[in-house]
Structure 1
Amino acid sequence: MSVPDVSVIVGAYEAMPYLVRCLESVEAQTLPADRMEVIAVDDGSTDGSGEYLEKFAAQTDLAVRVVRQPNSGGPSGPRNVGLGLARGRYVFFLDADDHLGEEALERMVAMADRHGTDVVLGRIKGIDRTAPKSMFQDGNLARTDVFSSNIKYTLSAQKLFRRALVERHGLRFDESLTTGEDALFTLDAYLRADGVSVVADYTCYYLVGRDDGKHATKRGSYTRRFDSARALMRLIEERVPAGPRRDTLMVRPFVITILPQFGPSFLALGEEVARHKMELAKPLMDAYWTRGVAARLKVHQRLRLHLVAKDRADLLVDVLAFLKAKKTPQTVLERRGRRAYLAYPHFRSASAGIPDSVYAPSEAETDAIAGFRPPRRRPGLGAARRMALKVWRTRKRDLAAS
């Protein structure tokens, strides 16, 4: 039996009627049917999803294997079952709510084969949902990595992965997580991959918003969000040495997972839940909040997380009320415009004691500040040149004194 190019893994739970469009998009692929296989796992559905999968398998020309199992409680179980059965050179995880562009698999396989990369991202379009965009703005990328591009901002599982990479490192989805499990898998794959490619000139994946509110990403309490952030931060800590590269990756869980827990909606929480969120955040702030991470954030992001790290919910609510009212902070320029601050609440308040550096705008923010003049920087000198210059100046001073 020949090895297919792609194993399409579809995990389905209460997926009707979206499952119909999902499977139609696989059947419509320009990649020939004999170069694909579908592994569909029904995770204990009660809405007819399992029966539809069996009907589809009986009627299509595609090689389809259907597995029906009791509900596992999350998407990780079905995906791991699919991985265990996959035979393709590549695997693609397709959510049963979503669907593919007709040329998606053909284009992504061609990109991986042409450039020898282990992971391929295809452009995503949201249907009644927002979709990540920044990683596609620079056009097609033949070969990149998680440090030199924005691919860290799309850690969903809907990518093409070289199966040899997955099996060589024993990559599987963490079944203890019910949200953020795909971020853990995908980031680990990025870090281990021999290159990542990006297909930006064709919409490969349609991310569909369900009108019944049952989409997996909308389920789960805030405690599970902290669980997923903790797992991702631990992975980054284990796989990337401390320094700028680690800080670059840590921005992602701080901004995408933790920061939303301390947005304006925090103001409406009861005292018990608000306190619990602060308690859940504290060990993560203590372990992973660094100057390098803080420097990469906008002022309002940095300020909120600084207050969380200092356990100052009393000050945080003032900042959140300011943001909720959509107020604009005053710009404070000093040193003839070479130093700037954005005066969000408690700027230079003696009782608050927040360092001025927390209010210093990021590079992106300074671009919009009228009258700001970036500090002049002297060209860098190597250590040897600096030492030689110091010796020369000392000798010149001694000669002048003699």
Structure 2
Amino acid sequence: MHSEEPLVSVLIPAFNRVDLIEETVQSVWAQTYSRVELIVVDDGSTDGTYEKLQQLSDQGNLTLLTHQGRANKGQSAALNLALRHASGRYISILDSDDLFLPQKLEKQVHYLENHPDVGLVYGLGEAVDSQGNWLYDLLSADHTEPNDPAAVLLDCYFLLPQNALVRKQVFDQAGLFEESFRAAQDHDMLIRLAELTRFGFMPEKFFQYRRHDDSISATGAERRWTTGFEILQRAASRYPYKKSIIRRRKAVLNFRLSQVYWQQKNHIKALLCVLKSGLLDPRRGLRVLLGMEKVS
């Protein structure tokens, strides 16, 4: 690597991932792009993750940060602490249980260096189980980037943390992660970024997303969809989305909540949410009921 190549800051928020964090860190150290600063924030882990990270920081390129008193403040606060310490031209975020594939940073840096009008680039990924076995692909190679903030608002069609490489100056414009959100903060940030810059898409696999029973994505469904209403309200006050787009997103959020409430056996709330969803977007509601369309 040449000294003139730009520095990339990789940020990992970590909480109670003692069995997986070393493999995650190793996937950063194994990158074919070498101008990387790795910043890991331990968010008050109690299972030995912090001690494991101390050992790893003695072995290689890893800056370990914690909140005062090693408090647990949530993923947004951990990412904000890391962002404040990041000095790279580009930012890449990696969840503490996921993995970068070896050429992710090299190829994404090359793309952004050659596309100065693009502020964020992303690609393909795959979901794997806790043993690393393939489960399914994330996105398809024929995906096209619409470069429309409304598309991101309606459908968080890719995972922001581990998939993207973002210009630091765009993150600076977007502001920090919303610390009052304990779910869906990734979608909130992605919407804000889409309102500010063009996105680029590369049809190559760059990461592995671990799908397992204790993932936040598997247990925080109700919190995620209720937070979605606050995200939507803020987006509508910030950017001139069409009223039809706002209605469609409200319909999706109500439908998703109906699924959660039905699983919780709260059938009255579930049916009320289904009714709201159908009234907000009757055409799509009919298509979903007929199996002609999936809900994002």
TM-score by length of 1: 0.61
**Structure 1 pair 3/208, CA: closer, same or farther in 2 (3 Å)?**
same
Q: Deviations over 1:281-306 (max 9, x none)?
A: 59xx59xx75xx544x25253x6xxx
What SS is found at the alignment partner of 1:157? helix
Q: Which residue of 2 aligns with 1:51?
A: 51
Among the aligned pairs, what percent are the same residue?
A: 22
Q: C-alpha displacement at 1:175, in angstroms?
A: 1.4
Return the letter of the residue paired with 1:72. N
Return the letter of the residue paired with 2:128. I
**Structure 1 pair 165/53, CA: closer, same or farther in 2 (3 Å)?**
same
Residue 187 (structure 1) aligned with residue 183 (structure 2): no
Q: Which piece of structure 1 moves more, 177-186 or 122-131? A: 122-131
Q: C-alpha displacement at 1:240, in angstroms?
A: 3.4
Q: Which residue of 2 aligns with 1:317?
A: none
Contact 2:150–2:241 under 8 Å retained in 1: no
Aligned residue-pair number: 282
User: Which whole-Å CA distance do the structure 2 matches of 1:156 and 1:218 have between them?
Assistant: 17
Q: C-alpha displacement at 1:174, in angstroms?
A: 1.4
User: Which whole-Å CA distance do the structure 2 matches of 1:78 and 1:105 have between them?
Assistant: 22
User: Which whole-Å CA distance do the structure 2 matches of 1:78 and 1:235 have between them?
Assistant: 22
Residue 208 (structure 1) aligned with residue 210 (structure 2): yes
Q: Which residue of 2 aligns with 1:66?
A: 64
Point out where structure 2 has 5 or more consecutive residues left out of the alignment.
130-134
Contact 1:147–1:248 under 8 Å retained in 2: yes
Higher RCO (CA 8 Å, separation ≥ 6 residues): 2
Residue 198 (structure 1) aligned with residue 196 (structure 2): no
Residue 299 (structure 1) aligned with residue 286 (structure 2): yes
Q: Which residue of 1 aligns with 2:132?
A: none
Q: Which residue of 2 aligns with 1:157?
A: 161
Q: C-alpha displacement at 1:252, in angstroms?
A: 5.1
Name which of 161, 176, 181 aligns with 2:180.
176
Q: Which residue of 1 aligns with 2:122?
A: 121
**Structure 1 pair 19/114, CA: closer, same or farther in 2 (3 Å)?**
same
What SS is found at the alignment partner of 2:237? helix
Where do 1:1-400 residues align within 5 Å? Answer: 4-32=6-34, 35-60=35-60, 62=61, 64-69=62-67, 70-116=70-116, 117-128=118-129, 132-133=138-139, 136-138=141-143, 144-147=147-150, 152-154=156-158, 156-158=160-162, 159-169=164-174, 171-193=175-197, 195-200=198-203, 202-210=204-212, 213-220=213-220, 222=222, 224-243=223-242, 247-248=244-245, 251=248, 254-255=251-252, 257-263=253-259, 266-267=261-262, 269-270=264-265, 273-276=266-269, 290=280, 293-295=281-283, 297=284, 299-301=286-288
Point out where structure 1 has 5 or more consecutive residues left out of the alignment.
304-341, 343-360, 366-402
Please tell me whether Structure 1 or Structure 2 has the larger radius of gyration of its CA atoms. Answer: 1
Give me the CA root mean square deviation. Answer: 3.4
Q: Deviations over 1:252-301 (max 9, x none)?
A: 5643x4323323x755644xx4445667x59xx59xx75xx544x25253
Q: C-alpha displacement at 1:166, in angstroms?
A: 1.3
